[in-house]
Structures are given as C-alpha cells and as structure tokens.
Structure 1
Amino acid sequence: MQILPEGRLEYGIQLPVQSQSTLYAEAWEAAAGPAEIARIARAADRLGYLYVACCDHVAIPRRLAAAMGTTWYDPVATLAYLAGVTERVRLLSHVAVVGLRHPLATAKQYATLDRLSGGRLILGVGAGHVQEEFEALGVDFAARGSVLDEAVDALKAALGPDEFPEFEGERFSFAGLGQRPRPVQAPRPPVWIGGSSLAAVRRAAVRGDGWLPQGDPRDRLPAQLARLRELREEAGVEEPIAVGAIAEPLYVGDPGWEVGRRTLTGKPDRLAESLREYAAIGVHQIQVRFRSRDAGELLDQMAAFAADIAPHLND
C-alpha cells in the first residue's frame, strides 16, 4: 500500500488546536476552535500538503494534565469534519490508539471516514502510553504491544474489500458479520505504524505500510532505518514502506521573536537545504510544524513554506 510518489520528499502537518500538550502547543491555541482548525486544513488542502493529522486520547489523568492538557479532539470526528471542507489533502490519524477499541468498531469508523472523504484516509496507529486511559476502558496496559499487533492484523482484514471480513486471533475474532460502507481505497487504506522503540520499529517493519517515528532526531534516524530495513527483510516483506519523520520546528524568515533554540529559521534556500537531508537519510515524508503567535501567522508560514521551500525539497 504505497501512496507516496517514488523518489520525492513529501510534507504534511499535524493540526494545531486539536491537541494541546505543553510540549508543542502555542499559546493562541487555547482560545481557538473548529473555525481555526478548518481554516488551517483548507490552507493545507490548497497549498499541496500531503496530509493533515490528528492525535488520539480518550481521557487524560490528573497526574498528566498539567503537561498534556485535556484538550484532545477525537480524531475520527475531527477528520470527518475536515473531509467535508477539503478536497485533496489526506487525513491521517497520528496516531490512533486502536488497542483501546475492538477492531470492528475501529474499522466501522475509519471505513466510513475513507468513504466520506473519497478515499483520503491514512490510518496511523500506535500503542499508547497513558495507563489510566487503558484501565478506564478495561484494556490491559501491560499487554498493549501485543494487543496492538493483533489489532493491526484484524484491522487489515476488516478494512479490506470483503463485506463479511474474517479474522481469528487470541483476543479478537469475527466472521459472518457484514460492514458497509467499504473503504474507497483498494485493497484497503494504508496503515502507518507510529513509535520509535525497538518493538514499534519491528511492528512497522513486519506489519506497516508506513513508519511514523516519534521525535527521533536526525542523527538517530539512519540507525533506525537500517534496523527497519533489516527487520523487514528478515520478515520477508518485499513491498516498499513509507518512512516519515517529524522535522524540527520551523520559521520561514526572520522571526523577530524568541522561537526556541531548536527551531530552524532563515531564508527559504537555507531551510530547504537543511530539510533535504531527510531525503538523503531515506525519509519519504516529513511532518512540519511552524512556530506562530496566532492563526494568521501560522497560515502565513504554511504559505511561505509551500511557495518558497517545498518546490526545492527535491532539487
């Protein structure tokens, strides 16, 4: 399930507002809402971004609320809303914690999303990390890795072309149960695996159509990619895999305000040269994030990137 053009570095964006962890949310997002999310998604659609992405958490415990916040829009509802106001941009769950739910329920939601969007879903999945969230939903937190492995296999069956999919596993089994509408994409929507642990890399190698590293710095990516390829070869998987990376925060031009030491700033040619290193490492798509003081500045940054940097990512 390769959806990326061969030999090109593509770019997408994690939506602001819909998740508001203190690790990355800007101050203006706290007062923003659906109107800003829609404006940003429409801009990404118009400007040629590969995808807009949305995170997944059901509930945040008090012990983590100060750092993570409790604002986490549901990914299916949010991406379905955005499907109606966009035309081309793909809709990525980055990532859906699919082990929290039965695969048939997840398949129903995301198959419907793929149908409503005209075949634009990318199902990004991950193991999750909030123990209380699992406990509240009656799911074994300690076994979340093996649960995710089986959930991915079950979802591949449930999102395939068969109206009556079949799957037999240790935790999940189904047969003789029909689900329509079916996804538009054939044989099914792509499944990208998130995570940077050895278990996550192995999962992506064996089961994934794509890999979504979670914050690996550039100097770690070559070793991670070598491990991914080795594990994929050992598993006998011959299909290509779409490799992603989360780029450093960006600001096109001179910010004139404090954007943090990790933020890449400056002229477009300098930024394009820096980002081309991802392609040289073996990355196929980068997720970009822009520093901004309001939605207007973010939209300006998105436009500047699309006009002045994106055309040179593949020089």
Structure 2
Amino acid sequence: MKLGFVLPVEGAVASRAAVLDTARAAEASGADSVWTTDRILQPGAPPGGYPYSEDRGAIAFRTGRAWFEPIATMGLVAGVTERVRIGTNVLVVPYRHPVVLAQELATLDALSDGRILLGAGIGWMAEEFAALGVPRSERGPRTDEAIRLMRELWRSSDAVRFDGRFWRVDNMGLPAQPARPGGPPVLIGGNSDAALDRVVALGDGWLGADLDPVETAAVLERIAERRRATGRPASELELSTRIRVEPEGGDDALGGVDPGALRDRLAAYAAIGVDLLVIDVMNLPHAPTAVERIAGFAGA
C-alpha cells in the first residue's frame, strides 16, 4: 500500500515554509504523493450542507482561518520536488470553468513531468455555491460534464468540438498539453451511490475520507459490484482513502501518537485492498517530522 500525505495548507499550521518542508519530507521519505485541499470562501456563520457528523471531527469553517488555494499550491510544490505525485483531495470541480481548469492542470502536468492527480469532488457548502453563482442542485451533472470535457481537451492537441448541457467548445484546443496522454488521472471523491457510480463511469480511482477500515471495506465492495456490472477491470481503478492522525498526549516525535497503534491501523487498510492511504497530519505538532516517522515505520 502506498502512502500519501496532506500538506499543511489550512488553519494555524498553514505557511509557505510548512508546505515546502512537508513536501520535501514526503519526497525524501519515499512517500507516493502529497495532497492539497480546497476552499474558496469561508462563512461568517455555521455553513449549511456539511455531509459528515460532528463525531467525524468536522472542520471548523470560519472567516479568518487560512486556507491556501490548491492549484497555486500544487505549482509551488511541483517546483521543489521531482518524484512525488501531487493531488487535490478534493477539488470542488463545479466551482470552476472546466476549460480554464483543464488548461491549468495540463500546464501543471507538463511542468511537473506528469505528476498531477485530480481528486474531484462535487462540493457541499450551500453558501459557497450561492456566492459563486453556481446552482447547488446542478453540482453532480456539472461535475460529470466537466470531467468529460476536460478529458476531451486533454486527449489531443487538435481542435475539439463539445456540445454539452452547461458548456460548449467549437473547434478549439488547449494551448498546453499534459505530459501524459489523456491527461492527469481523475480520482473521484465521495461515498454516496452517485459518487461511486461516477468512480466507475468516469474516474481512474476513488478517494474516500473519514472512514474506518470496516466502512472502507464496504465501500470497496460497492465499487467492485459496479465495476463487475460494467465489465471494467479492477486494474483500471486506484482505490484510496484519507484518514486523520490526531495527537493523543505524550511527547514523542509523533506528537503523542502511539506508533504501534498507528502501524496496526495502516495494516488494517492495506489488508482490505486500499491501494493508497492519504494521511492528514495537520493536527500534529510538526508535519514534516510526522511524515518522516510515519513513512519510515510504514516502509513507504
């Protein structure tokens, strides 16, 4: 099982130095990937539509809390690394015009020698959709169409014709082309039936979040059922989930986390067939050190 790490891009830990130090630590430690997260606006009051319960450790969304934009952050990280893959976990696709996003990601993929991953989500915050002028009720169909359009633009440098419900391209092509034929892999975030349908129909993989191994195993079986029904080979999908590591007291280099317990936790995800485990270390005292320790004892 490969390991990825969420960069310190939000909250009190977010800084240029922290992002760069964590990315370099992941690269040096043999980790597979580093990941950004996405937020366009912060609400001045409790937001509507949050999909997870409070016992999942819901993030405190509030004005004044730092949160770096993911595309810009990925460019910074690509410039100081050579090997690790760089992804979004997840990017809210319907917030962005897909032609602009396709050009941005194609450029990043070209400049990073093919290391970009698009973790694609449909978003949830009602107030954010309203401020951006995007109907929240259309977030699913907009995401599906955006992925199809971006793939068309990435597939060839020739002119493209695309006539969709939301966007139309008439005999035009991207000026930047991704390093990899077909463009960056698209991993779909979410655990709903619609998200899992999207994984098999449009994605190159799945990005789960905040699920324990038993819950993750159930989702993997739901994906497998859809894959078998469509005839899609298992080898075409990268199965990933994201977990948080929290301090538990004590003063060891992992901020009080019990290395043995964490090792057992990682092994449980590997045993059920997770290909890539993305670990959020932003709540630990020093993310670069945590990355080095975790990657070291996990044999990344």
Q: Same fold (TM over 0.5)?
A: yes
Does the Cα contact within 8 Å between 1:250 and 1:288 map onto a contact in 2? no
- Residues 254/137 of structure 1: CA separation in 2 closer, same or farther (3 Å cut): closer
Tell me the residue number matched to 1:246: 242
- CA-atom RMSD in angstroms: 2.5
- Residues 214/46 of structure 1: CA separation in 2 closer, same or farther (3 Å cut): same
Secondary structure at the counterpart of residue 150 of structure 1 = helix
Q: Which runs of 4+ in 1 moved over 6 A?
A: none
Does the Cα contact within 8 Å between 2:7 and 2:282 map onto a contact in 1? no
**1:200-259: per-residue Cα shift (whole Å, max 9, x none)?**
1111122110100121222112221111111122233335210011235167x98338x9
Does the Cα contact within 8 Å between 1:213 and 1:246 map onto a contact in 2? yes
Tell me the residue number matched to 1:278: 269
Q: TM-score, structure 1 length as denominator?
A: 0.83
Tell me the residue number matched to 1:62: 44
Distance in 2, matches of 1:209 and 1:291, equals 27
Match of 2:33 among 24, 27, 51: 51
Tell me the residue number matched to 2:281: 290
**1:267-315: per-residue Cα shift (whole Å, max 9, x none)?**
4xx54343122122121000123376543xx32222122222225xxxx
- Residues 230/74 of structure 1: CA separation in 2 closer, same or farther (3 Å cut): same
- Residues 57/290 of structure 1: CA separation in 2 closer, same or farther (3 Å cut): closer
Equivalent pairs, count: 285
Tell me the residue number matched to 1:6: none
* Residue identity opposite 1:285 in structure 2: L
Secondary structure at the counterpart of residue 202 of structure 1 = helix
Q: 1:124 offset after TM fit, Å?
A: 0.8
Tell me the residue number matched to 2:219: 224
Q: 1:163 offset after TM fit, Å?
A: 3.7
- Answering whether residue 23 of structure 2 is matched by residue 41 of structure 1, we say yes
Q: 1:108 offset after TM fit, Å?
A: 0.9
Distance in 2, matches of 1:233 and 1:168, equals 31
**1:60-107: per-residue Cα shift (whole Å, max 9, x none)?**
221237922442211110100111111111110111111112210110
Distance in 2, matches of 1:47 and 1:191, equals 25
Q: TM-score, structure 2 length as denominator?
A: 0.87
Match of 1:91 among 86, 89, 97: 86
Tell me the residue number matched to 1:4: none
- Residues 282/62 of structure 1: CA separation in 2 closer, same or farther (3 Å cut): same
Does the Cα contact within 8 Å between 2:5 and 2:280 map onto a contact in 1? yes
- Residues 232/100 of structure 1: CA separation in 2 closer, same or farther (3 Å cut): same
Match of 2:102 among 94, 107, 118: 107
* Residue identity opposite 1:116 in structure 2: L
Distance in 2, matches of 1:126 and 1:139, equals 15
Distance in 2, matches of 1:266 and 1:55, equals 26
Does the Cα contact within 8 Å between 2:40 and 2:128 map onto a contact in 1? yes
Identity %, equivalent residues: 32
- Residues 116/245 of structure 1: CA separation in 2 closer, same or farther (3 Å cut): same
Q: 1:145 offset after TM fit, Å?
A: 1.2
- Answering whether residue 145 of structure 2 is matched by residue 141 of structure 1, we say no
